[in-house]
């Protein structure tokens, strides 16, 4: 086992590898990143700092945030740690106020904090699990935008990226509360993008497929998740972080109200695998593929 960037023992996550080409992309900007204590949020905070931003790190766990801030400062960046509960309006407002007090502006925000509930068919999801999931994903996203937008308007605009999931664009069995929460993130983002388009606030969404965080630490879970991905693997945390950085940068200045899947092709369709020669279903499956006009299935 080894310590990962935020000091937690994981033993499975490779060290972050943020590309050098990101340097300067967000020079001089100030951003808030929520859920920055672990996983995708942590990676994005490190990427933003490398891209030249001053970053404000939000999550509940102060100790883990301090670990991320140390990583950033060791790399020559600047980070402010601000323990926050994204479901609490007073806590969210306090962090936005603190950002303005400390840096005088807010240019970008990645509202990434979120989470799900234990797998269960809808009728078996405890009401409190449903409420907690909606609260952290939907209410949290609403609250961040409610306080971030006025802060951005003070200096002429900004860019917000909200975290959804491929589960925000399709149904997934056993995850009704999470699916509802992530669909809500997209609805809120599209509406807010229309509200503030003329005021130079761009609001977009990323919808990742399976990403290698500690939730996919178990190799069996990781392999099963990768089966549904045309690229045949889970994504890296950096592969989400760099898309978010682009959406927060001036390079995407005419992009608003969009949802970008970061999913190795997952939402674009299935990939037909050649059945093994020994499989009883092989001849029938091959025939079906030909009949469907797809020609010879691609070699796996």
Ligand X SMILES: NC(=O)c1ccc[n+]([C@@H]2O[C@H](COP(=O)([O-])OP(=O)(O)OC[C@H]3O[C@@H](n4cnc5c(N)ncnc54)[C@H](OP(=O)(O)O)[C@@H]3O)[C@@H](O)[C@H]2O)c1
Which residues carry out catalysis?
178
In whole angstroms, the minimum distance from the beta carbon of 215 to ligand X comes to 5
In whole angstroms, the minimum distance from the beta carbon of 194 to ligand X comes to 23
Judged by beta carbon, residue 187 or residue 275, the one nearer ligand X is: 187
Q: Tell me: does residue 204 bind ligand X (CB under 6 A).
A: no
In whole angstroms, the minimum distance from the beta carbon of 124 to ligand X comes to 21
261-290: which residues touch ligand X (CB under 6 A)?
A: none
Q: Tell me: does residue 114 bind ligand X (CB under 6 A).
A: yes
* Cα 49 to Cα 69: distance, rounded to the nearest angstrom: 10
| Per-residue exposure over 249-259, b if at least 16 CB sit within 10 Å of its own CB, e if not | beebeeebbeb
* Cα 144 to Cα 216: distance, rounded to the nearest angstrom: 27
149-168: which residues touch ligand X (CB under 6 A)?
A: 163, 165
* Cα 54 to Cα 65: distance, rounded to the nearest angstrom: 15
**What's the token pair of residue 289?**
């593929």
- CA distances to 40, 275, 276 from 179, rounded to whole Å, are 19, 32, 34
Q: Which window, 9-17, 49-57, 81-89, 189-197, contacts ligand X (CB under 6 A)?
A: 81-89
Task: Find where tokens 């967000």 sit.
Answer: 26
Judged by beta carbon, residue 173 or residue 253, the one nearer ligand X is: 173
Name the strands in the sheet holding 108-111, side by side, starting at the edge strand that comes first in the sequence.
78-83, 54-59, 30-34, 108-111, 158-163, 201-208, 259-262
Q: Is the dihedral of CA 272, 215, 185, 255 positive or negative?
A: negative
Q: Which window, 97-105, 153-161, 187-195, 204-212, contacts ligand X (CB under 6 A)?
A: 204-212
In whole angstroms, the minimum distance from the beta carbon of 198 to ligand X comes to 29
Q: Which window, 14-22, 31-39, 74-82, 245-253, contacts ligand X (CB under 6 A)?
A: 31-39
Q: Which window, 14-22, 99-107, 208-216, 246-254, contacts ligand X (CB under 6 A)?
A: 208-216
Task: Tell which residue, 213, 177, 30, has the closest CA to residue 105.
Answer: 30
Binder among 25, 30, 113, 248 for ligand X (CB under 6 A): 113
| Binding residues vs ligand X (CB under 6 A) | 35, 37-41, 59-61, 64, 84-87, 112-115, 136, 163, 165, 208, 210-211, 213-215
């Amino acid at each position: 086992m080894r310590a990962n960037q935020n000091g937690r023992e994981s033993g499975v996550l490779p060290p972050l590898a943020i590309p050098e080409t990101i340097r300067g992309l967000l020079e001089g900007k100030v951003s808030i990143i929520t859920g920055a204590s672990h996983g995708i949020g942590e990676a994005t905070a490190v990427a933003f700092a490398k891209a030249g931003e001053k970053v404000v790190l939000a999550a509940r766990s102060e100790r883990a945030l301090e670990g991320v801030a140390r990583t950033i400062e060791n790399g020559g960046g600047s980070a402010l740690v601000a323990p926050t509960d994204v479901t609490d309006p007073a806590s969210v407002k306090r962090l936005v106020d603190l950002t303005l007090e400390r840096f005088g502006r807010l240019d970008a925000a990645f509202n990434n904090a979120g989470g799900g509930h234990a797998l269960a068919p809808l009728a078996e999801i405890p009401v409190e699990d449903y409420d907690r999931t909606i609260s952290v994903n939907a209410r949290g996203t609403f609250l961040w935008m409610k306080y971030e937008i006025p802060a951005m308007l003070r200096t002429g605009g900004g860019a917000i990226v909200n975290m959804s999931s491929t589960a925000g664009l399709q149904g997934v069995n056993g995850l009704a509360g999470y699916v509802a929460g992530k669909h809500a993130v997209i609805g809120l983002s599209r509406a807010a993008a229309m509200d503030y388009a003329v005021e130079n606030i761009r609001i977009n969404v990323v919808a990742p497929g399976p990403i290698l965080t500690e939730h996919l630490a178990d190799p069996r879970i990781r392999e099963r998740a990768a089966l549904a991905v045309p690229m045949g693997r889970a994504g890296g945390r950096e592969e989400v972080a760099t898309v978010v950085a682009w959406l927060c940068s001036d390079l995407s200045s005419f992009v608003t109200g969009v949802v970008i899947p970061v999913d190795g092709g997952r939402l674009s369709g299935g990939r037909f695998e050649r059945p093994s020669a020994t499989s009883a279903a092989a001849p029938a499956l091959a025939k079906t593929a030909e009949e469907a006009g797809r020609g010879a299935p691609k070699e796996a």
